[in-house]
Structure 1
Amino acid sequence: MYMSRPPASMEASMKRTCEVLVLPVTPWQPPKPSVAAARAVAAATRLKNCATSAFIGLSKSCGLLATEYLIPGYQPRAKVVTPWNESRMVKLPVYLAWPLVLSTAVLAQQQEAPQQRVTAIPSMRAKQGTQPLPQRKSSYSFTLANTTWLDTGVTVAAGERLKLSAKGSFQLADGRKSGPAGVDRGWRDLLASFPMNAAPVGSLIGRVSDAGASIPFPIGEDDTVTAPTTGHLYLGVNLPDSITATGSFTVKLEFPKPEAVAPKALAATPMQDLTSMISPDTFAEVPRRVSDQQGNVGDMVNFALVGTRGQVEQAFKAAGWVQVDQSVDAAIVHGIMSTLSHEAYLQMPMSTLYLFDRPQDLSYARAEAISVVAVRHHLRVWNSGKTINDVPLWVGSATHDNGFEKDQRNGQVTHHIDPDIDIERKFILDSFDAAGVFSSAAYVLPDDPFSSGKTATGGEFHSDGRILVMMLK
């Protein structure tokens, strides 16, 4: 006996199954693709049509085979797949094919716009370079009623000269009294963390911008200073948080006539186009990581400087970094001399690491006196032997010590670094920008960027792989 169609119960079951599979979904409308993406969509559509035909043919064949094997003696005389079933089966591959179509289009878009390998970094000194200075008076008067930083609200330009004079006094909680010129440091002050370690206790200090990496400058009773960068002028008292004080300073700000005549723009130095001078090939022969004396790889190379050795040393000094002592013996002598002169000792040595098969040429740190042992920003610099427009290229590795951990090599105690070393890279940029020591900056993504690893002592770190490059002034 021949069957022209499956039993009613089987047909109802198949109908319910198909209705569950084919949901009334409105397909997502993708954005208008580019030419390359449109071609990819067309190719994927053709692939979808072929898949649809193959799916229907396979469904029919499977239906024939299934019926033929499950029902002895069965010989089909009509379509195994009923009209209602076929219409739904035609729709199913359409929904299944759309993800392929969309993903192909997205990939085409990404291939059409490859990742930027060299990216210019706008300086805080150039953000408003084409804008005129805000309207200013010839002079201002401010009152510091406490020891926190005061935002004067007055915008100054990089390179502009500022004449400042002050009077008044603060009574310190430890019994000392300080005027704008400050008082000499005592033994107890060696254990305190001052905003400006080189300035007298309680003296008037200033800074430009509120960037955390900006460097304060001394003012005292009367001084004319040059603004290192562009931004608001801040005034403060050189006291640590551990010393409270009551009183006030009255500060007068004036603009010397030569600069006050024509304050045309906020940017003082034209920014050079570093992006046209460097490329990923610039770092093709520069190792991605430094190593210790035993050859254990560690920190990654994450910044570079273009300048002479004198420019490099001057830039770090202006940005508040100090050269560390090269040996323990030198550290002992330097520490004793600093203590006898009541100065904070910040030049604690750091370990020697190797790049280009030689130890670092320069070592720098930035820290507070009270926490220099455990917490400090530090870096190492090597002359790469390469030049950019006949100017030496220096490369370096920077990390931020924020505590202690176990050295995985020998079980001893060593420094723990902040695993997000890109934050330290940004700190270097901010400190140099606030000091106004570079003319152009850019990020470069090398051909084989390094993203994560461990230091020579076993500490973990990660990065986006980019190298900060700065052209020094």
Structure 2
Amino acid sequence: MKLSRFLRSIPSLTVTCLALSGIACSQQQPAPTSVRPGVQLIELKAPDASVLSSRKGSYSFNVPAGDWTDTGVTVTLGDQLDFSATGTVTVSDGHSSTPDGNARGWKDLVRQFQLNSANSGALIGRVTNGDASIPFPIGASKQIEITTSGKLYLNVNLSSDLTGDGSYTVKMKLSKSPTTATETTAINLASSLSPDLFANIPRRVQDQQGNPGDMVNFAIIGTQDQVQKAFTGAGWTTVDKTTQDAIVHGLIATLSHEAYTEMPMSILYLFGRPQDFSYARADPIAVAAIRHHLRVWKSTETIDGKPLWVGSATHDSGFEKDQRNGNVTHHIDPNIDEERDFIEQSFAAAGAITGAAYVTPSNPLKTALTATGGSFHSDGRIVVLALR
């Protein structure tokens, strides 16, 4: 059965989460009698009611240093988790750590920790075990309000060159948060989206000389404040705008024993102007060659009164020769659809969206060369994210 016919046969569609993310849904909205051609809603079922009803009010876990520990507990939007942890882990650098961890030293600046903003050896957690999910600090005591759904994982914050001997004993109380905000009505993407929405939006961005470059492969519905909060919550950082900014920022970060991941990216153009925002997700040290990165522009289109932002996302995977001038430039992963889907996965993992869909424009771009001469390929679809 074709997808469009299958969707028409379903009385309601859950569209708050992403099929590729492993994140469960928290809200349902009714589907119209039909989905427009060129639009594919991204659907995932909500957590099984029997799983949620069988949860206990308190748990105890043993969390050894090493791989992520699957607690077996499914958490969902509106849960409040109260953690307390004890124990000692002996780290291979000669330190002993409690759940609060140890302050980062100079050597830690060249290490890639599971959570670079947390102390070495600290207790950390995350919801779902995918790369798009951002860990959060816990330490010896922490109260956390959950904004998404999925399985809870715990770990000791170490890097690939640090091993640990020992474990933490973690006690957790589970309850519903008294401060959970009432969910606003989600945008009905099935009735709001169509290929015509992208009729006046260029398929590609350009460099300063007007050479066509990366493909426009994602769109976001929301206010500027929603956009900025969504990227921050999903683990993306704004990059420095100039080399001078990078030098100052990098020096301050180094003196503070903090990781630097905000390396600048080039200015590209859409609608005749530079990007409004630039974001990246990367590990320190590797950021010079490998990182997720994207650029965002505000369009003149609106959906349900909210602005439509569009952008181009690619994954830097190394270096190559710039065909324009012979200099060294970044090489992008030619399968740019994986980066497009990584954005939706990261937003879903952060609980930042109420719905998502793929839209195939009337003139989809399938393969091309970047402005620097690198090639890329795509199925031509644009992913659209409606922000919470």
User: 1:319 maps to what in 2?
Assistant: 234
User: 1:347 maps to what in 2?
Assistant: 262
User: 1:262 maps to what in 2?
Assistant: none
1:44-84, Cα deviation, whole Å (9 max, x unpaired): xxxxxxxxxxxxxxxxxxxxxxxxxxxxxxxxxxxxxxxxx
Matches of 1:276 and 1:163, distance apart in 2: 41
How far has the Cα of 1:414 moved from its partner? 0.6
How far has the Cα of 1:320 moved from its partner? 0.3
Whose helix fraction is larger, Structure 1's or Structure 2's? 1
How many residue pairs match? The answer is 352
Q: Report whether the alignment pairs 1:384 with 2:299.
A: yes
1:203-242 to structure 2, matched below 5 A, reads 203-242=122-161
Whether the 8 Å contact between 2:65 and 2:163 is mirrored in structure 1 is no
Matches of 1:402 and 1:250, distance apart in 2: 39
1:251-270 to structure 2, matched below 5 A, reads 251-256=170-175
User: 2:168 maps to what in 1?
Assistant: 249
Pairwise CA RMSD: 2.0
Gap change, CA 1:450 and 1:406, over 3 Å in 2 = same
Matches of 1:458 and 1:180, distance apart in 2: 49
Q: Report whether the alignment pairs 1:452 with 2:371.
A: no
Equivalent residue for 2:201, pick from 268, 277, 286: 286
How far has the Cα of 1:274 moved from its partner? 1.3
How far has the Cα of 1:340 moved from its partner? 0.6
Structure 1 residues without counterparts, runs of 5 or longer: 1-113, 260-267
Matches of 1:140 and 1:134, distance apart in 2: 15
How far has the Cα of 1:316 moved from its partner? 0.3
Whether the 8 Å contact between 2:79 and 2:175 is mirrored in structure 1 is no
Whether the 8 Å contact between 2:297 and 2:310 is mirrored in structure 1 is yes
User: 1:367 maps to what in 2?
Assistant: 282
Matches of 2:291 and 2:184, distance apart in 1: 31
How far has the Cα of 1:146 moved from its partner? 2.5
Whether the 8 Å contact between 2:37 and 2:194 is mirrored in structure 1 is no
2:38 maps to amino acid: R
Q: Report whether the alignment pairs 1:154 with 2:69.
A: no
User: 1:429 maps to what in 2?
Assistant: 344
Equivalent residue for 2:42, pick from 104, 121, 135: 121
Whose strand fraction is larger, Structure 1's or Structure 2's? 2
Whether the 8 Å contact between 1:229 and 1:436 is mirrored in structure 2 is yes
Matches of 1:180 and 1:466, distance apart in 2: 45
1:427-465, Cα deviation, whole Å (9 max, x unpaired): 001000000001111100001000000111011000000
User: 1:23 maps to what in 2?
Assistant: none
User: 2:109 maps to what in 1?
Assistant: 190
How far has the Cα of 1:331 moved from its partner? 0.6
How far has the Cα of 1:129 moved from its partner? 7.0
Whether the 8 Å contact between 1:269 and 1:439 is mirrored in structure 2 is no
Q: Report whether the alignment pairs 1:329 with 2:244.
A: yes
How far has the Cα of 1:229 moved from its partner? 1.4
How far has the Cα of 1:228 moved from its partner? 2.8
Matches of 1:278 and 1:115, distance apart in 2: 8
SS of aligned partner of 2:280: strand
Matches of 1:456 and 1:337, distance apart in 2: 34
Whether the 8 Å contact between 1:208 and 1:228 is mirrored in structure 2 is no
User: 2:6 maps to what in 1?
Assistant: none
Matches of 2:85 and 2:253, distance apart in 1: 30
Q: Percent identity?
A: 56
Matches of 2:153 and 2:147, distance apart in 1: 13
How far has the Cα of 1:130 moved from its partner? 6.4
1:278 maps to amino acid: L
Matches of 1:374 and 1:207, distance apart in 2: 26
2:328 maps to amino acid: V
Structure 2 residues without counterparts, runs of 5 or longer: 1-34
Q: Larger Rg: 1 or 2?
A: 1
1:353-392, Cα deviation, whole Å (9 max, x unpaired): 0000100000000000121001000000000122111111
SS of aligned partner of 1:255: strand
User: 1:274 maps to what in 2?
Assistant: 189
1:168-183 to structure 2, matched below 5 A, reads 168-183=87-102
TM-score scaled by structure 1?
A: 0.72
Equivalent residue for 2:327, pick from 407, 412, 430: 412
User: 2:16 maps to what in 1?
Assistant: none
Matches of 2:67 and 2:114, distance apart in 1: 11
Matches of 1:348 and 1:180, distance apart in 2: 31
How far has the Cα of 1:231 moved from its partner? 1.1
Whether the 8 Å contact between 1:190 and 1:344 is mirrored in structure 2 is yes
Higher relative CO (CA 8 A, sep ≥ 6), structure 1 or 2?
2
Matches of 2:387 and 2:218, distance apart in 1: 13
Matches of 2:103 and 2:237, distance apart in 1: 22
1:198-225, Cα deviation, whole Å (9 max, x unpaired): 1111100000112220010110101110
1:25-174 to structure 2, matched below 5 A, reads 116-123=37-44, 126-128=45-47, 133-174=52-93
